[in-house]
Amino acid sequence: MRKTLGSKTLGLLVGLLTLSRLAAAQASESVGHYPLPDSSDIVGRVQTVETSGEETLIDIGLRHGVGYNAMVRANPETNVWVPGEGTEVVVPTRYILPPGPHEGIVVNLAEMRLYYYPDTPQGKTPRVETYPIGIGRMDWQTPLGRTTVTAKVENPAWYPPQSIIAERAKRGETLPSVVPPGPDNPLGKHALILDLPGYLIHGTNRPAGVGMRVSHGCIRMLPGDIADLIHRVPVGTPVRLVKEPVKFGWDAAGILHVQAYPAQVAADDGADAHIAEAMNAATRAASGRRFLVDYRRLKEQLEAPDGMPTALLLAGRPFPLPEPVLTFFERAQLIPSLYSRVATSPAGKPLMQPE
């Protein structure tokens, strides 16, 4: 939830966390916690579960650390509110790590996910934690850039800015100048204060909105997620706010994957430019490797992103063979020449052997 925080306002926030409480925090194995791989940019795995009772797609997603939009993209044919007893539901819990340093907090707005790289004690395996988030609506966009965590607050009071008070007034609602801690407070029970005037990472009193564009610019987390995270994130932790609708990453077998999300670009030239930029990025990623990119599959993901890592290994012919191919000799001559137009090794030989 967006608000302006000066030193005076910050002093009014109640319940600053104490050192003793921080020392008592436990780093337990939880949903979305993974060892940081040495030879891969990808963590987790896609799951398939069966619905039971009257649970919704939102219920299933939040139980597995996945927000609303991600669940809908992964299950486009499934009714969100009444999927039905025994329905198989895909839970997209496999992630390509965002580009850049594996340190501090990284928030990918396009993905609506937060990644946290805790400090690694000597002799321990580096880890990454990832959580679904809610972000700013189109008219209250969450900013991009670098910042830091400056304070941590338990049971915060909310001081809505005049812009939000005026917005509510247009709907006939009266919003007080101060919303105390409690069930009506949209900040929830915990908040990370950022060195970015007016923005927080905080809990929520409406968990179903996590995974959607619902806030006035701040970053919402599930109450249980931030209740655990806040006790382990030191003040001074760096925070990067990025917008990466297309992520590329290599798995341990040396196969390039793409993970795409809606890019929020203009329908005409903007969409074309987005696809062209992603195609070029895939070419750069594969440069210098014995790897042929399946640009057709990449384009499909860009045009209809499902938010799940997709392998881009070219397994078939990149273009149809002209017909007729009359003889075996003509076929043997033709196929290598076609592949040589796609990619060649430094020695000039096709990287993919003909079928």
Which residues carry out catalysis? 202, 218
Q: Which residues contact 263 (CB under 8 A, 6 or more apart)?
A: 110, 245, 246, 271, 274, 302
Q: How far is CA 11 from CA 8, 57, 151, 153, 218, in A?
A: 5, 40, 11, 11, 20
Report yes or no: 236 and 253 within 8 Å, Cβ to Cβ: no
Residue 8: strand, helix, or coil: helix
Residue 219: strand, helix, or coil: strand
Report yes or no: 261 and 171 within 8 Å, Cβ to Cβ: no
Report yes or no: 217 and 201 within 8 Å, Cβ to Cβ: no
Report yes or no: 91 and 46 within 8 Å, Cβ to Cβ: yes
3-state helix, strand, coil in the chain (%, to 5): 25, 25, 50
Report yes or no: 186 and 1 within 8 Å, Cβ to Cβ: yes
